[in-house]
Amino acid sequence: MPETFEPKIVAFFCNWCTYLAADLAGTSRIKYAPNTRVVRVMCSGRVDPQFILDAFAKGADGVLIGGCHPGDCHYQEGNYKALRRFVLLKRLVKQMGIEEARLRLEWISAAEGERVKTVVNDMVEKLRVLGPRVPVRQKEVA
């Protein structure tokens, strides 16, 4: 690659915790890697595995899901459902040859602006090492 590879991460952030944390990082002027593209949902429980696989299929180098800490979900239990799906999806994604670092679930509360920075920067670093995810459909038959 001629220039440094900049991974593109599609991030599904829950409105009440992680999205607010990302806003807090902003109001605190905390600087972090500009590689995320946030899709706001009300709850991490809204994140359908179809969205995650669609993002990978369309070329996302990484997918990050951000929700409230266990026990803190604004809607009581949505994040637990997200966790259950994530554990299974992780195994599927591994069978499909997608490296583990590309799919990540993080619990980030509304007060953790600093954590948004650490998580995003860490994920970007790991993805830089892995390189771009080339959607395999490109290598298919005509």
Partner 1 sequence: MSKANGDIRIGVYVCHCGTNISAVVDVKSLAAYGATLPNVVVSREYKYLCSDPGQDLIRQDIAERKLNRVVVASCSPHLHEQTFRNALATGGLNPFFLQMVNIREQDSWVTEDKQAATRKARDLVRAAARRVAWNESLERDRIPIHPAVMVVGGGIAGIHAALTLANSGKHVYLVEREPTIGGHMAQFDKTFPTLDCAACILTPKMSAVKSHKNITLWTYSEVTQVDGYVGNFKVKVRRWPRYIKEDLCSGCLECLKACVYKEAKFPDDFNVGLAKRKPIYISFPQAVPQVPVIDPETCIQFKSGKCKKTCIDACGERHAISLQMEEKTEEVEVGNIILATGSQPFDARRIPYYGYGVYPNVYTALEVERLVNASGPTAGEVVLRDGRTPKTVGIVHCVGSRDENTNRWCSRVCCMYSLKLAHLIKEHTGADIFNFYIDIRTPGKGFEEFYQKLLNERVHFVRGRVAEVTDWALDPTEEDKLVIRVEDTLAGIVRRIPVDMVVLATGLEPQADAEQVRRLFNISCASGGFFLERHPKLAPVSTFTDGIFLAGCCQGPKDIPDTVAQAGAAAAEALALIDAGFVETEPNAAYVMEEVCSGCKTCVAMCPFTAIEFLQEERKARINQAKCKGCGTCVAACPSGSIYQHLFEDRQIFEEIEGILTNA
Partner 2 sequence: MKPKVAFYWCASCGGCEEAVVDLDEKILDVANAVDIVFWPVALDFKEHDVEAMPDGSILASFINGAIRNSDQLKMAKLLRAKSQVVVAFGVCAQLGGIPGLANLSDAKGIFAEVFADGVAPVRFYKDNGHSLSLPEFFDTVVALDRVIDVDYYVPGCPPTPKIIGDALGVLLGSTLPPKGTVLAPDQALCEQCPRKDTRPEKLLLKEFKRVHQVVADQQTCLLAQGLACLGPGTRAGCEAMCPRGNMPCTGCFGPTSRVRDFGAKALSSLASIIDSDDEGEIARVLDALPDPAGTFYRYSLPSSLLGRRRME
SS3 at position 39: strand
Q: How far is CA 106 from the centre of its chain?
A: 8
Identity of the residue, 75 or 99, whose beta carbon is nearer to partner 1 in the bound complex: 75
Contacted by 76, from partner 2, partner 1, none: CB < 5 to 8 Å by type: partner 1
107 touches, from partner 1, partner 2, none (C-beta below 5 to 8 Å by class): none
Distance CA 105, CA 109 (A): 13
Task: Please pick, from the candidates 49, 101, 122, 128, the single residue that binds partner 2 as defined by CB under 8 A.
Answer: 49
Question: Among the residues of 1-142, which ranges form H helices?
Answer: 18-27, 49-57, 78-95, 113-130
Residues at the contact surface with partner 2, assessed by CB under 8 A: 48-50, 52-54, 56-57, 70, 77, 80-81, 83-85, 87-89, 91-92, 95-98, 133-134, 136-137, 139-142
